[in-house]
Amino acid sequence: MKSKHFNIDEIMSNFQSLQENDITYPEVSPMEEIYKTMQKRSGQLILECGVRKGFSSSIFAYNSELNNSHCYSIDIEDCSDVVESTAWSFFQCDDTDVNKILGQFPDIEKKGIDILLIDSLHTSKHVKKVLYNWFPYLNKDSIIFVDDTDSFNYRKGQKKDSILNQINWDEINEFVINFSRSNRSQISLVQFHKKSGLSKLYKSSSRGELPLKLSYHNRFIGLVSFIKLLKKIKFW
């Protein structure tokens, strides 16, 4: 396979040189964890939502060629040239448009999804829609990756200081935790905090099972802000 923007052989060499005792769990980077997951699984159908330059696409495609898997990647932009591989297929589309994507890739409906990566539009509303739309197609013992769930690098004074990204990342993280707790009978969650963070959800239920609605809700933001103000002026 070929990767347009990345030296995939060098990346794989770096990943392969990592020993288990060199990685303090859960302090692996998002792509290291995805690589480790792919190493342990074969015959996987992967749905990747969000491509851009194709870093994760390259990792999926490289490993898919080795372990009899296939990665189907979706992006609203044309990313069809970022990877060349017999184990990788691309479709330019909104990743929430299930019917259109299934029409293009019928194997997804036929075989079900073993690995889902959500890394497209970074808002909690969009992540929620993608997850709920594709959840019924996830096989038993499948894995859901939600990228960018740790806002630390975007906080004030940090390297990528951005209040908008901090808010979005925090809201996505809050949704993921809420989703896992609301569906604890069929979902377990592990989170990784290196770089921009990664959430890994394990699904134990069979394909076709529907997720439950969120059962945990925030307190009114105005009340929270008022209590924080009281704490600052020592009235609380």
**Rounded average pLDDT over 150-163:** 89
Residue percentage of the chain with pLDDT more than 70: 87
What value, to the nearest 5°, has the Cα angle with vertex 26 and ends 193 and 5?
65
Q: What is the pLDDT of residue 214?
A: 87
Q: What is the pLDDT of residue 189?
A: 97
Q: What is the pLDDT of residue 153?
A: 87
Question: DSSP states of 147-194 as a string?
Answer: E----GGGSTTSTT--HHHHHHHHHHHHHHHHHHHHTTTTEEEEEE-S
- pLDDT at residue 236 tops 50: no
224 band by pLDDT with thresholds 50, 70 and 90: low
Q: What is the mean pLDDT of the chain?
A: 90
* pLDDT tens digits, 88-137: 999 999 999 999 999 999 999 999 999 999 999 999 999 999 999 999 99
Q: Which of 24-38, 57-71, 144-158, 185-199 has the highest mean pLDDT?
A: 57-71
Q: What is the pLDDT of residue 218?
A: 63
21 band by pLDDT with thresholds 50, 70 and 90: very low
User: Which alpha helices (H) appear in the chain, and where do they start and end?
Assistant: 8-16, 30-40, 55-66, 98-104, 106-111, 124-134, 163-182, 221-232
Q: What is the pLDDT of residue 88?
A: 98
Q: Specify whether the CB–CB gap between 56 and 67 falls below 8 A.
A: no
CA distance 178 to 216: 6
| Closest among 28, 30, 32 to 15, alpha carbons compared | 32
* pLDDT tens digits, 202-216: 999 999 999 998 876
Give me the domains of the chain, ranges plus CATH numbers: 2-232 (3.40.50.150)
Instruction: Please list, in sequence order, all residues whose beta carbon lies within 8 angstroms of the beta carbon of residue 234, skipping any fewer than 6 positions away.
Output: none
- pLDDT at residue 54 tops 90: yes
Is pLDDT larger for residue 163 or for residue 89? 89
- pLDDT at residue 82 tops 50: yes
| 3-state secondary structure (DSSP) of residue 57 | helix
Q: What is the pLDDT of residue 12?
A: 85
- pLDDT at residue 141 tops 80: yes
Q: Specify whether the CB–CB gap between 148 and 118 falls below 8 A.
A: no
Q: What is the pLDDT of residue 194?
A: 84
Q: What is the pLDDT of residue 18?
A: 64
Strands 45-49 and 70-75: what pairing? parallel
22 band by pLDDT with thresholds 50, 70 and 90: low
CA distance 110 to 136: 12
CA distance 37 to 130: 21
- pTM: predicted TM-score of the whole model, two decimal places: 0.88
Q: How many CB atoms lie within 10 A of CB 37?
A: 15
List b or e across 16-30, with b for residues whose CB sees 16 or more CB atoms inside 10 angstroms.
eeeeeeeeeeeebbb
